[in-house]
Amino acid sequence: GQNIDQPTEMTATEGTIVQINCTYQTSGFNGLFWYQQHAGEAPTFLSYNVLDGLEEKGRFSSFLSRSKGYSYLLLKELQMKDSASYLCAVLGQAGTALIFGKGTTLSVSS
């Protein structure tokens, strides 16, 4: 079976840092993806991790621990436009499709 867990909702203040956690149990592992989805729009790609460690891309960073089945997305210097749903997705066995968590809705307030 496959299971991906992430918190349903989070709130944060503009200018601060927020960490969104994701734990997973999947058959096989070929990478973990984070997507951002604004209300009424399509998911868009943020980051990809396949090896343990931290990947940094501007204000966004993503961390992976394969032994723990754990990842987090770190958003720095939060802006109002970061209010969105953040989806954790795992690519299990080779040649298969991304399996998504239910997403974490982040609300950024001033």
Partner 1 sequence: DAGVIQSPRHEVTEMGQEVTLRCKPISGHDYLFWYRQTMMRGLELLIYFNNNVPIDDSGMPEDRFSAKMPNASFSTLKIQPSEPRDSAVYFCASSQRELNTEAFFGQGTRLTVV
Which positions lie near partner 1, rule CB under 8 A? 30-31, 33, 41-45, 48, 50, 87, 91, 94-103
Residue with Cβ nearer partner 1 (67 or 94): 94
Residue matched to tokens 């720095």: 76
d(CA 82, CA 34): 14
CB of 78 to partner 1, least distance (A): 23
Strand 104-109 vs strand 9-13: parallel, antiparallel, or unpaired? parallel
- Which of 94, 110 has the CB closer to partner 1? 94
Region of 103 (left: φ > 0; alpha: ψ -120 to 50; beta: rest) is: left
At closest approach, how far in Å is the CB of 102 from partner 1? 3
Question: Among residues 26 and 78, whose Cβ is nearest to partner 1?
Answer: 26
> Longest C-alpha distance within the chain, in Å?
43
